[in-house]
Chain A
Amino acid sequence: MALVRLRGPLKRLAGDEPEHELEGATVEELLRELERAHPATSGWILDERGILRRHINVFLNGELCEQGARVDAGDRVEVLPAISGGR
């Protein structure tokens, strides 16, 4: 199990819970599992193609990562809006 942390609207969509223990071998699998557990998050982090939205950053244990990054038990994944999206 890895820990996915959410803030702002994503937290609200996920039952107003900031932390979620989820199963998955990659960041993408964790985000898919999040969508299954909380369908309201569908389309917010990954688009309909399953691609991480352009202005969303995902950090794995504090390091910016790709959606295909491998995840181990006990890892910490944070999903944050990127400053590049601010206009």
Chain B
Amino acid sequence: MTELLVGTKKGLFALTGEPGSPFEVSARAFAGEPVEFALRDPRSGRVLASVTSPFYGPKIWYSDDLAGDWQQAEGVALPGAGDAALERIWVLAAGAANGTVYAGGDPGVLFESRDGGARFELNRALWEHPSRAGWQPGAGGLCLHSIATWPGDPQRLAIAISAAGVWLTDDGGASWRRGNEGLVARYLPEDPPPEDEVALCVHQMQRVPARPERLFMQFHGGVYRSDDAGESWSDIAPGLPSDFGFPLALDPADPDAAYVIPLAADIDRVTPEGRVRVYETRDAGASWTPRGDGLPSEDAYLTVLREAFGRTGAGEELELYFGATSGALFGSGDAGASWFEVASHLPPVLSVTAGASR
């Protein structure tokens, strides 16, 4: 049995079921409030959710019982003496060290918890980085949306910020450096500004667990791969119908595998040609294969957001799930070979994470 945690514009939905048939809504929480992201920490079973109340501001909540009471995490705020306020928590990620959980948010901030998500602390080195004044937000704000941990090494971390690019640390976040060589921002003049002022709009970035020096990235116009831990990037978009899109998924069993969901263009953020298709590579981006069996293929103009593509399992048993702003949720139980509709009428889907049901 698989469990999906689906963050929507109107609350958190937990859905459970077996691949191939529609899932049932097994729990709902934070009814009416935007839930940006929800994660079940596989180590503890604890569920964490980032909720952005339009009235009361962004919070992180946690619960050891999805249908039970939720506790508000402490420390999820910026220093009080500054000019900025926390706008939103975009993503949560289990760290490599036991009990560590990361949270990334707007304005380009990283929080770390060492007690499983009960209390977070702001990463001061990133917050106080000298180049911060030159960082530019993307359309969704200055969002830190991707946190790529390094399996077995808590000191190494890669993060991505729209539109402040990729940042790397080898000392557990005590210091940060850029990792953007090879990225081409077509939305900037050919004579680009200095590196500290370049607005690099990463949309999603993930690390390959079995080969941690490899990462895949969906960029704002471009799909990229890095084989040197995010120091430099190569364009692997040729073969896709569009190099614009947001989400990305990997197969933990195959370091050469990645999945993207292209959208038509930055000025037309819907599935191209009215067809919903996931594109798969099994050769590290040298070629791409459309996977659309079971997905809408006519008059289907969906938008899939950056955190709305989740997966569980690996290899032939890789399960993939993505949701659209239309409220439709699709899944595959055979690594993308065929697809089924998981749910049809959810609120606009902001995020999807998947795991084994408990």
A: residues with CB less than 8 A from B are: 9-10, 40, 43-45, 47-51, 53, 55-56, 81-82, 85-87
Q: Does B192 contact A (CB under 8 A)?
A: no
In the docked arrangement, what's the CA distance between A51 and B77, Å? Answer: 13
**Known interface pairs A48-B86, A49-B85, A51-B85; A43-B77 also in contact (CB < 8 Å):** yes
Q: Does B187 contact A (CB under 8 A)?
A: no
Chain B residues contacting A10 (CB-CB under 8 Å) are 56
Q: A49-B85, A56-B55, A87-B9 are in contact. List 17 more A-B contacts (CB 8 A).
A: A43-B57, A43-B59, A43-B77, A44-B56, A47-B86, A48-B77, A48-B79, A48-B80, A48-B82, A48-B86, A49-B83, A53-B55, A53-B56, A56-B56, A85-B54, A86-B54, A87-B54
Q: How large is the interface on B (under 10, 10 to 19, 20 to 34, 35 or more residues)?
A: 10 to 19
7 example contacts (A-B, Cβ-Cβ < 8 A) are as follows A43-B57, A48-B80, A51-B85, A53-B55, A53-B57, A81-B55, A85-B55
Which of B9, B55, B72 is most buried by chain A, counting CB atoms within 10 A of its CB?
A: B55
Which of A44, A45, A47, A56 is most buried by chain B, counting CB atoms within 10 A of its CB?
A: A47
Q: Do A50 and B55 touch (CB < 8 A)?
A: no
Per DSSP, are chain A's interface residues mostly helix, strand or loop, or mixed? loop
Tell me how far the C-beta of A86 lies from the nearest C-beta in chain B, rounded to whole angstroms: 7
Q: Mark B21-62, 1 if CB is under 8 A from A, else 0.
A: 000000000000000000000000000000000111101000
Q: Do A55 and B80 touch (CB < 8 A)?
A: no
5 A-B pairs closest in CB distance: A85-B54, A48-B77, A81-B55, A47-B85, A44-B56
Q: Do B78 and A55 touch (CB < 8 A)?
A: no
Q: Mark B63-96, 1 if CB is under 8 A from A, else 0.
A: 0000000001000011110111110000000000
Tell me how far the C-beta of A77 lies from the nearest C-beta in chain B, rounded to whole angstroms: 17
